[in-house]
Amino acid sequence: MTDGSQFIDIILFAMVALFLGLRLRSVLGRRTGNERPPSEVGHPSRPAVVPDNVVDLTKKRRGDGTIAANAIETPLTGGLLQIHQADPNFTPEAFLQGANAAFEMIVSAYARGDQAALRPLLSDEVFENFNRAIEARKQAGEICQSELLRIVSADFEDSRLDGQKATITIRFVSQQLIVVKDAEGKVVEGDPSHPVQIIDLWSFARDTHAANPNWLLVATRSLEE
């Protein structure tokens, strides 16, 4: 590879990183809910070598069907009000829009095994756990084919402000087609003709005094029947 092509590669990677950063900024600009401390659990089904605060996006998790509709406007009370007072630019509506976009990006990137796309969206700990799950899947010769059909609802589960750190947990209910195939193309998990309903609790956090406005995914948890 020539020096010129290496330089072009560096420029392209920098442009991709900038795009993801700007995308997340507009995406997770501002949003939250009344919140308890985020739970950091969730267990990948294959292989069992991944720590416990990364949710296995290839595992089927069904909801109970009792999904509340998203509120058009979320009142600034409790943790949301505290976060708004610490950061006047914060609004629940804008945050929830960003959280939805981040959810789609992260679910898609995890299914593809795209560590580079995941890196700017996750905290160091969560990224390490997602990365280990992806590497374990590669070593097992498995391929995950996942399609996010729609987000049924995204509601505030918790919100709090500890000093300068704001943490918001969103309850996502989604419908997805998830299929895991082995190295020979045989389906080992999931049904390509049967969508599953999945409930996830995702916690996002940021320093309200930091110049960087981005929120990072800091914990995930799945709810199962």
Over 80: is that where the pLDDT of 186 sits?
Answer: yes
> What is the reported pLDDT for 114?
95
- Determine if residue 37 is left, alpha or beta; phi over 0 gives left, psi from -120 to 50 gives alpha, anything else beta: beta
Q: Which residues contact 22 (CB under 8 A, 6 or more apart)?
A: none
Burial of 65 (C-beta count, 10 Å sphere; 0-12/13-18/19+): exposed
- Of all residues in the chain, the percent with pLDDT exceeding 90 is 48
Over 60: is that where the pLDDT of 4 sits?
Answer: no
Q: Which long-range contacts (CB under 8 A, 24 or more apart) does 135-142 make?
A: 136/44, 136/46, 136/47, 136/49, 136/50, 137/46, 137/58, 137/113, 138/113, 139/47, 140/46, 140/47, 140/182, 141/182, 141/183, 142/46, 142/180, 142/181, 142/182, 142/183, 142/188
> What is the reported pLDDT for 73?
57
pLDDT tens digits along 143-176: 888 889 999 999 999 999 999 999 999 999 999 9
Average pLDDT over residues 56-82: 55
Cα separation of 216 and 205, whole Å? 6
> What is the reported pLDDT for 15?
45
3-state secondary structure of 20: helix
pLDDT tens digits along 11-57: 444 444 444 444 444 444 433 333 333 333 333 333 333 334 444 43
DSSP assigned state of 119: G
Over 80: is that where the pLDDT of 224 sits?
Answer: no
Q: Which fold has domain 3-223?
A: Nuclear Transport Factor 2; Chain: A, (3.10.450)
**Contact, 187 vs 180, CB < 8 A?**
yes
